[in-house]
Structure formats: structure tokens, C-alpha cells
Amino acid sequence: MILLVGLGNPGERYKNTRHNVGREIAAAFAAAHDFSEFRFEKKWKSQVAEGNIGKTKAVVVLPDTMMNKSGAAIAPAARFFKIKPKGIFMIHDDADIPLGRAKLSYGKHSAGHKGVESAIRALKTKDFWRFRIGIAGKRDIPAEKLVLKKFTHDETRILKKISKKTVEAIATAATETCERAMNEYHR
């Protein structure tokens, strides 16, 4: 069983912003694999959908907390489903990776990402899988402003390609191995 977490901020105001790329890709994954409709789970402060990828059961969690409080949603869901950290796949934006690129990593520090920091504190470990989606654009924009910017039309086209690739990599990681997903994802 896996717990797929899409980091982002809740609400229309943040829709299509760079900081919400994880949340949007996780929702796209659930839709692509015919998961249940998202429902609000009060005890996890999250939108939740469930389904299967091959023989692997998966739960998609979209925290309805602000980004820097994501751990308050992730840790209770992981405990409820008895999912060890290695079974947690987190998708989030990464301002250090160029737009159109992505990386799959395991056991890395947060690199200053507040949502990841919150998850590490709540889970008491950094040993989980992270699909890091590049959002970097012009370097003259401070990161705290960049993450709240919406994507341009051209950037949205680029994002759709990496979103599709990420959805495929998550399925590979869930049904085969994360190492195989990493090999395919980093090409």
C-alpha cells in the first residue's frame, strides 16, 4: 500500500500556482487511474481518494492545511493506514529544478521547502520518496514570490508534459520499484 501526498495550498486562490503543482499532479494521478472521488476526511484535514494501481492499493491525500502545516495531515493518515515512511510518495514543487524537469529522491533534507519540513517533523523521518517538480523560472524573483505565481500559457504546456511523466513514474514506483521509476524518470 502507498500513500501519495500532493503538497499545495487549499482554495481557489492558489489553484494553478507553482506551489500547488504537487497537489494538481496527485489529483491527475487519481483521475488517470479511476480512483474514487475525493472526499474530505476531517481527522486528516485532507481531501482523500482511494484506488488500486495493479495489485497495489493507494490512497491519495491532498492536505487542506496550508503548505507549512502539511505534516499535520500526512502523519495521521500514514498512521491510520499503517504505512511506513518508505511507502509514502510525496509530490511537491522545487524552485531549484528548472521548469520541465523533475527528480525522484529518497531520504533527502527539505532544502528549505516548508511543506517538506513540516512532513519530516511530523513523520520524525526524512526517509520517504519525493517527486520533486521543477518550477524554477527567472532567477531574479525571490522564491517566496515565485511559488505563488501562476504558470503562463507556455509554461502550462511544459508542465503538462512533466505531469504526464510523473503520473507514469508514480505508477511504475507503486507496481514495480522506485529504483526503476527513478531510472525512467531521470531520462
Active site residues: 19
**Closest by CA position to 144, among listed 53, 87, 67:** 67
**Closest by CA position to 18, among listed 108, 141, 170, 165:** 141
DSSP string, 49-82: EEEEETTEEEEEEEE-S-GGGTHHHHHHHHHHTT
**Do 168 and 183 contact (CB within 8 A), yes or no?**
no
